[in-house]
């Protein structure tokens, strides 16, 4: 039971990290086609999160809603994981193109930034609950790097110029390697 529960939780975090990596990779590599993978990766993250929750609810809580709610309130890492799953629900529901059009691009993007909150909560879940700091440090570094890149592109000293300069430098490095 422990292995299955941990594995599905780990895969949830892996897919969250892969989803978060799509935009930086697109910008650095200049490959807009990569964006086509983002929705699928995000939905895989949600699927594994739901599977993780279902396994925990079925095997650990015996489908007892009262016991589940008590566990969510009692243990901080369960609270963080449950909150992360709840935050991923509107992301999955608004994933289709028509939902982005219905919400409007700016509101849809703001809503989908919740994935960073979900990722940080999932990191906390690992840290607080399992004390597995080695593995957690890897995910924390990846999430911090991806968030840092987005913040740099959005608010860096040269604004949009920094984005272009970084993209050009990355392309030059890739050409020199190839």
Which domain covers residue 48, as residue numbers?
2-177
Per-residue pLDDT of 61-115, as tens digits, reads 888 889 888 888 887 777 878 888 888 888 888 888 888 788 787 777 777 777 7
- pTM, two decimals, is 0.74
Sign of torsion over alpha carbons 162, 165, 169, 171 = positive
For residue 169, pLDDT beyond 80: no
Question: Domain total for the chain?
Answer: 1
How buried is residue 86: exposed, middle or buried, by Cβ count under 10 Å (0-12/13-18/19+)?
middle
Quote the pLDDT of residue 130. 60
Q: Which of 137, 157, 155 is nearest to 145 (CA)?
A: 137
Per-residue pLDDT of 103-161, as tens digits, reads 787 777 777 777 777 777 666 666 655 666 677 778 778 888 888 888 887 777 655 55
Quote the pLDDT of residue 43. 92
């Amino acid at each position: 039971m422990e292995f299955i529960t941990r594995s599905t939780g780990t895969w949830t975090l892996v897919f969250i990290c892969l989803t978060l990596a799509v935009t930086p990779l697109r910008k650095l590599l200049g490959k807009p086609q990569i964006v086509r993978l983002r929705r699928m990766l995000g939905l895989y993250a949600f699927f594994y999160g739901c599977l993780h929750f279902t396994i925990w609810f079925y095997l650990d809580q015996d489908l007892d809603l009262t016991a589940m709610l008590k566990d969510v309130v009692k243990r901080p890492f369960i609270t963080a994981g449950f909150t992360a799953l709840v935050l991923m629900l509107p992301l999955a529901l608004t994933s289709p193109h028509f939902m982005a059009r219905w919400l409007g691009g700016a509101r849809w993007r703001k809503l989908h930034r919740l994935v960073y909150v979900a990722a940080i909560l999932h990191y906390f879940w690992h840290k607080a609950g399992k004390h597995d700091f080695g593995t957690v440090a890897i995910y924390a570094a990846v999430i911090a790097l991806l968030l840092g890149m987005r913040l740099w592109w959005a608010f860096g000293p040269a604004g949009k110029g920094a984005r272009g300069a970084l993209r050009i430098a990355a392309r030059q490095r890739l050409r020199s390697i190839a």
